[in-house]
Chain A
Amino acid sequence: MPQLGNLALAIALILAVYSIVANIYGARRNSPDFVVSARHALWAMCAMVTIAMLVLWSALLRSDFSLEYVASYSSTTLPTVYKITSLWGGQQGSLMFWTWLLSIFTSIAAFQNRRRNPEIAPYALAVLAGVAIFFLMMLNFVTRPFDLLATVPAEGSDLNPLLQNYWMAIHPPSLYTGYVSATVPFAFGAAALITGKLDDGWIRSTRRWAIFSWFFLTLGNMFGARWAYEVLGWGGYWAWDPVENAAFMPWLVMTAYLHSVMIQERKDMLKVWNLSLIGLAFGLTLFGTFITRSGVISSVHSFTQSGLGPYFLSFLITVTLGYSALLIFRSKQLRSPAEFESYLSREAAFLFNNLMLVGIAFAVFWGTIFPVLSEAVRGVKITVGPPFFNRVNGPLALGLVFLMGVGPLIAWRRTTTSNLVRSFAAPVVIGVTTGIVARAEGLRIWYVLTAFSLAAFVMGTVLVEFRRGVNARRHMVSEPRAKALVNLVAKNNRRYGGYIIHVGVIVAFVGIVGSSFFRTEVKKSVHAGESFSIGSYTLRFQGLEQSDTPHLESATALVEVLRPDGREITVMTPAKLFFKRPQQPATKVAIRSTPLSDLYVVLAGIGDDGQTATFEVFLTPLVFWLWAGGLMMVLGTVVVMWPNVRERAAIATALSRQSTGARELADLGAPGGD
């Protein structure tokens, strides 16, 4: 069986190489037969990687410890679901998972473009095949998933207990999907540069890919935060760890890209900027893998060096240099006749929003690589911790939120004063009132006051937009308010879905601000029967319950939670677990979540007498809204991605007459604004 896996990976590599050659030859010689055969080769490559995946999965499920990978990351007692997820629990497996996703996305892109984009698609597919070649080389020669052990152990060394929870099943796949799907828009951008077909065709053809990628990056970051919150037991959800930053940076740049392409579609500006952003987004996905796999910036995730670092770095440098050379080579053709006219315009608001997003990404990048830079320059590793990231990104986040309110309401090109007043009077009043009320309620921290006021301001602008749209609809076709609202969103899903995402971002932002500034913490050692309090809650420790299974031992504390009037709300059960193989303790946090605040109880220690326990308890206000906001962002993205008949028709027309009259058709493609 392992030979079958090796063979499949080898054939996949050959097919990828063939596909590059055939695509480029076919496109240059104008020979469709070669392009068709290149496409078939990509599909066959996908089939080969799929076979390799199935072989590894089958080995994991059968606990075939002759495979080094299976012996390192699985065991006979591991529950079946974790045998499946341990495919991406280790390096070789997760690299193969990545390659598999890439081959699937490449195949889909090849299918979508079998008749579309005859000029740039072959080059885009060649770029995708080139990326696949890099990963397949790694799998074939550097970090081989099907290597065998000389002596077959009787039992595997099991998956790390931290990875044995359901987040493991959903967090890495989401993040990888987000990472890998960013390759498709990048490939089309690169193809546009190679061919010189520099209109916005490449953007339109891959708009859904970019949103798809953003969607999964959002999910991946949210799941990661939630995982940290539920599993790691320190009461927080984000530590600015290099591995977290690696997932956050592509999200930021993708967000900037999704906004700035609107300017190119509408105004034919920012061509270089958009091409740079998508190149940057792709580069950051590679950089993220480089960070996590190389251990170059000793994160808490990994101290160990792995052999992959230099390869990823070389590939990253090659891609960066090649792409930059293309940009410079085409720079003359990329000049745009249009220009910015006024600060008070949507273009300007979007430009500054882009600067903020890229600025945050740069700050995160700088903070992440600072230890390496300082070591290279000064010979000493100097790190910057969470305070650095919070201090830099806090003010930038405020600016970004402000622009989120301004951007959607302000007119393109330029705005008159009366326009400004009409659009922004109500939201400004809402924002200022919120600030005044919060201050009257005793809130004194200027950052929080500003943040809450701006959040209310943005909510106000979204309300104004929805109200305006509903009224306009009811003016044209008389329908009830609720129906008008549904139709409004359905007919302009791109625009109103975007607003729903904005609401989600604001809600999450409020959750982040609230949980960062007002978290309280109590540490207490108590005997059974004793109680202590945090906030308005009283916690009574009732005692410990022990249990023992073949897989793990556990000690569970029963903690009664009482309201000030003495009524019991619930019993919480934080626990200490002790896994038997590998022998390792773990902590099970108990969380009681309400919209106002989360009660988070950690069983930090157990006394030798079995009657005393030490608890670490956090009371975190508003953190609930971070997850609620994440959910809204997800829903909004689904609305944006929902197939829209009108838009499809417009794109089809645009593509059939691609080279002619791109401008007027562009406006058709985006009914109702953006």
Chain B
Amino acid sequence: MRIRPRFFIGVGLIAAAIGYLIFSAIRTTSEYYLTVPEVAARQTELGGQALRVAGRVKAGNIDWDPNSLTLKFEIVPIPDVDNGAVKPVVASDPVSFHVICAGEPKPDMFAPGRDVIVEGKLGADGTIAATQVMTSCPSKYKPKQSQ
């Protein structure tokens, strides 16, 4: 197939437009996707930024008010499951963040010990004001409970 030069202009313009759309949209819509320890490490620079945090719901301290649809809980790191690899033990304090999510129904799968993704902003006091709490769908593609 040969394409006349003037067709390259049309094809090029469309390709450039698509490229520009992608480029500009990424700049304006991206948000950090971090683990709890990563948030802890970058706490100062993350203030007020849109982010997603993956973590585990800490047992206890869960407060759900069905009238105001306010969910309060603490999020802790998801423990590493390494296949027998020896990792150096770091004596760091277990980090955790308070999460407040108002105005959303509690997800059905939400429970202590479940892994969740919290979408929201980190406040100056270290509380994450969440707009959304997503739970992992625990079964469909999970191989088995054999860890």
Contacts and interface: CB of A to CB of B under 8 A. Distances in A.
Interface residues of B, number: 51
Contacts of B136: 300-304
A72 interface: yes
A370 B26 CA distance: 9
B86 interface: no
A343 B10 contact: yes
Given A300-B137, A336-B1, A383 B31 contact: yes
B30 A605 contact: no
A605 B69 CA distance: 8
Interface in B57-93: 64, 66-69
Contacts of A359: 14-15, 18
Nearest to A614: B66
A584 B14 contact: no
Contacts of A586: 108
Interface size class of A (residues with CB under 8 A): 35 or more
Nearest to A71: B144
A21 to B, nearest CB: 34
Nearest to A616: B105
Contacts, number: 180
Contacts of B22: 362-363, 366-367, 392
A612 B142 CA distance: 37
B11 interface: yes
B105 A388 contact: no
B14 A355 contact: yes
A173 B49 CA distance: 41
B122 interface: no
B115 A303 contact: yes
Given A351-B11, A371-B33, A388 B1 contact: no
Contacts of B145: 157
Given A162-B137, A271-B1, A602-B105, A383 B33 contact: yes
A273 B106 CA distance: 49
B18 A523 contact: no
A270 interface: yes
Contacts of B10: 343, 348, 352
Which of A159, A233, A341, A585: most chain B CB closer than 10 A?
A585
A604 interface: yes
Contact of B66 (A143, A300, A604): A604
A525 B138 contact: no
Interface string B116-143: 0101000000000000001111111111
A160 B136 CA distance: 12
Given A363-B22, A382-B33, A292 B117 contact: no
Interface string A586-600: 110000000000000
Contacts of B31: 382-385
Contacts of B117: 298, 300
Contacts of A356: 14
A607 B3 CA distance: 68
A340 B138 contact: no
A381 B32 contact: yes
Given A340-B7, A380-B34, A301 B137 contact: yes
A384 B25 contact: yes
A573 to B, nearest CB: 17
A339 to B, nearest CB: 4
Nearest to B146: A68
B26 A388 contact: yes
B105 A604 contact: yes
Contacts of B137: 160, 162, 300-302
Nearest to B52: A383
A163 B139 CA distance: 9
Contacts of A91: 141, 143
B105 to A, nearest CB: 3
Interface string A61-101: 00000001000110000000000000001110000000000
21 contacts: A73-B139, A143-B143, A159-B139, A163-B140, A271-B1, A300-B136, A303-B136, A304-B141, A306-B143, A307-B143, A335-B2, A343-B6, A380-B32, A383-B30, A384-B25, A384-B29, A388-B30, A391-B21, A391-B29, A525-B69, A605-B105
Interface of A: 68, 72-73, 89-91, 143, 157, 159-160, 162-163, 233, 269-273, 292-293, 295, 298, 300-304, 306-307, 335-336, 338-341, 343, 348, 351-352, 355-356, 359, 362-363, 366-367, 370-371, 374, 380-385, 387-388, 391-392, 395-396, 523, 525, 584-587, 602, 604-607, 612, 614, 616
Given A384-B31, A387-B29, A605-B106, 11 more contacts: A163-B140, A270-B1, A271-B1, A300-B117, A340-B4, A352-B10, A374-B30, A382-B32, A384-B25, A396-B21, A525-B69
Interface of B: 1-4, 6-7, 10-11, 14-15, 18, 21-22, 24-26, 28-34, 38, 52, 54, 64, 66-69, 103, 105-106, 108-109, 115, 117, 119, 134-145
